[in-house]
Structure 1
């Protein structure tokens, strides 16, 4: 039997804007390995991405996922429904979509990890805020210690030349050979995928969940006074350490990982301040954030057409800065197309699938828009 769907919950402009903004940074990082196995070679492009993008935008995206989970709970409460099966179905569908994404498009998928970590977060959802933050600190601390140890010991985690050549050949081959290679890569490293989700994404989910329960982003009068201080701390501490780690042979990359969330928070604070000063910020980023899952998979599809045997097979044939220019162009096009699309559709294709899985029923994707709560009014 189909479960009742709750009345439309007003969308939070800040959430959509931050998601839309984060999509660009995530693509900048992903395109490094989408365009060539093993990522960019050492050089200025690689260093710039490492300093200002790597480990910064998935932090923001993961935080927003945890925040959005609390909105799923509220939606269930309005419908007098149990949020557990709804959320579990959504996470399982994320895992299924992520697995298809891995096999057919991109081995660096995060949706599978998000689904796994989301199920764990569901089990932790009744924790008190202070307890939840203590729990989040444990895996985060483990990651910092491990990253520091690996770099102090000069452990090389990059692909060797033979493996890079094999991966490059697979990228340029037909879809069946490429899919087989990616499946083997996933099946042989399932523990790594699970570890990434539980050690990297889960702590950020928990922090987002705590913020969501407090409705932080829905009350501008609470967060606006904090933003200048967040910017000052994040940029003052984060930029020097991240730049030092990216542009030098500084072995202590653990501190760089430790301060990455500070820089990510400074980015978010900057966007939120701009959102409250310039209405164009919402118009530019919110539509892409509203259909973030569709845009995320769309980035992989477009990159596959450009770089793999699905299309032009340009993997390994373009300079790093050219690849980054292509990524920026694709992202700009997504922002424009998203603005056009959401004027006509309430959900993106993947958002429609996720919603159908969540509620166990189908609704038209093309329908009247829900109320969008503006940044100014909260």
Structure 2
């Protein structure tokens, strides 16, 4: 967003955006899509916690291993960093507006409403609800100095790491409950009509909630870390510094994950991914290489919700009913085809309109006035 003295606040224009951040958001969306389609739409999210799984081909096993080690949780961590940076950018650009706090609270409240609709009616793997709640917690810290963001981020991430080392007793369901639930999910999601799927989706939410609670401190910590990176100037015209940060983070993060210290390794690997992609995308040659992802990143909200609608129709019984019937490679191929279509659609759309459809609605509800949509407006 931008603000000019006492002028009425307005959304950030395309010419004011940092393209490298949009590139990273677009690429992070690929990682989120890959994990969602393989581990949450193709089969029950709880299947990964079972000791014995259905037999898979060597190709499926290899792809799943790569996704687990290199992508799972790392893509969401990237989105958390980006959301925190985006919140800090909006906060700073509204510095001269008396409406800064009400506008940002309304923005997060609208996001919460979107998230609850998505969670209940479309797909219960929703992350928007968690992000809205975390954003409301992080927002007061943006009024403080930069060191406060760093200290609060460190405290939140240490709490997350402590929870991984010493999981709270009784937080997760028993093995018997998970086994029965996976069997029920395979039957209902594959064959049920829309109302059957909806009812089961709502019954699943209490089982999924502990998974969000388990990573909620990490989400808050990464929001704060993203805000700190913005305030420290790391995201503004600093490709050299970021590339120097990327290499050790990726190397150490990968080593920790391979050694079994996944929680800390995931955070470091996500930091390395983010620093590397933004650093490369900030270079002239990097823009030519990765610029295709920027339109997708500018429309990430629209594309994220569209993926849920598309995959719901592909995998659930009210559509093609492919739930539980595809291997990892086949499901990922479908996901990549959807992603490629979204890359083309996003570029086409933004040549004609200022925002994605959902982004436009989000801004309109935030400001309480319809925002200009067409590029010629």
- TM-score band w.r.t. shorter chain: 0.7 to 0.9
2:249/2:271 contact within 8 Å kept: yes
TM-score between the two structures when normalised by the length of structure 2:
0.85
C-alpha separation in 2, matches of 1:197 and 1:95: 18
CA gap of 1:336–1:39, structure 2 versus 1, over 3 A, is farther
The equivalent residue for 2:265 is 259
Q: CA deviation at 1:149?
A: 3.5
Give the deviation of 1:317 after TM superposition: 0.1
Relative to 1, partners in 2 of residues 1:280 and 1:240: Cα closer, same or farther, differing over 3 Å?
A: same
- Give the equivalent residue in structure 2 for 1:77: 95
Stretch of structure 1 that moved more, 288-297 or 94-103: 94-103
Aligned-partner SS, 1:87: helix
Correspondence for 1:236: 251
Q: Which one is further off, 33-42 or 284-293?
A: 33-42
Shift of 1:368: 4.2
Which is further off, 100-109 or 266-275? 266-275
CA distance in 2, matches of 1:324, 1:181: 25
Question: 1:289 and 2:307 equivalent?
Answer: no
Q: Any idea what SS the aligned residue of 1:310 has?
A: coil
Report the counterpart of residue 174 of structure 1 in structure 2. Answer: 193
Q: d(CA) in 2 for partners of 1:279 and 1:140? A: 32
Aligned length in residues: 350
Residue 163 of structure 2 contacts residue 214 of structure 2 at CA under 8 Å; is this kept in 1? no
C-alpha distance in 1, partners of 2:279/2:92? 27
- Superposed CA deviations along residues 68-91 of structure 1, whole A, max 9, x for unmatched, are 11222234335x232111111111
Identify which range, 294-303 or 258-267, moves more after superposition.
258-267
Residue 178 of structure 1: CA displacement?
1.2
How far 1:197 sits from its partner (Å)? 6.6
Tell me what 2:228 maps to: 210
Assess, with a 3 A threshold, how the Cα gap between structure 1 residues 142 and 70 changes in structure 2: closer, same or farther: closer
CA drift at 1:321 = 1.6
Give the Cα–Cα distance (whole angstroms) in 2 for the partners of residues 97 and 283 of structure 1: 29
Partner of 2:130: 113
Which of 106, 110, 117 matches 1:93? 110
**Aligned pairs (5 A) from 1:45-56:** 45-56=63-74
**Which residue of structure 2 lines up, in the alignment, with residue 35 of structure 1?**
42
The whole-number CA distance in structure 2 between the counterparts of 1:150 and 1:8 is 42
Task: Tell me, in whole angstroms, the C-alpha distance in 2 between the residues paired with 1:335 and 1:91.
Answer: 27
Which residue of 49, 69, 76 corresponds with 1:58? 76
Task: Say which structure, 1 or 2, has more relative contact order (CA 8 Å, 6+ apart).
Answer: 1
Question: Relative to structure 1, is the Cα distance of residues 157 and 150 closer, same or farther in structure 2, using a 3 angstrom cutoff?
Answer: farther
Q: Deviations over 1:162-184 (max 9, x none)?
A: 11011223323111121122223
- Could you tell me how far apart the structure 2 residues matched to 1:343 and 1:93 are? 26
Matched-pair contact (CA < 8 Å) for 2:292–2:343: yes
Give ranges in structure 1 of 5+ residues lacking alignment.
Answer: 246-254, 370-378
What SS does the corresponding residue of 1:77 show, helix, strand or coil?
A: coil
Cα RMSD, aligned residues only: 2.5
Query: Which residue, out of 351, 360, 365, partners 1:352?
Result: 360
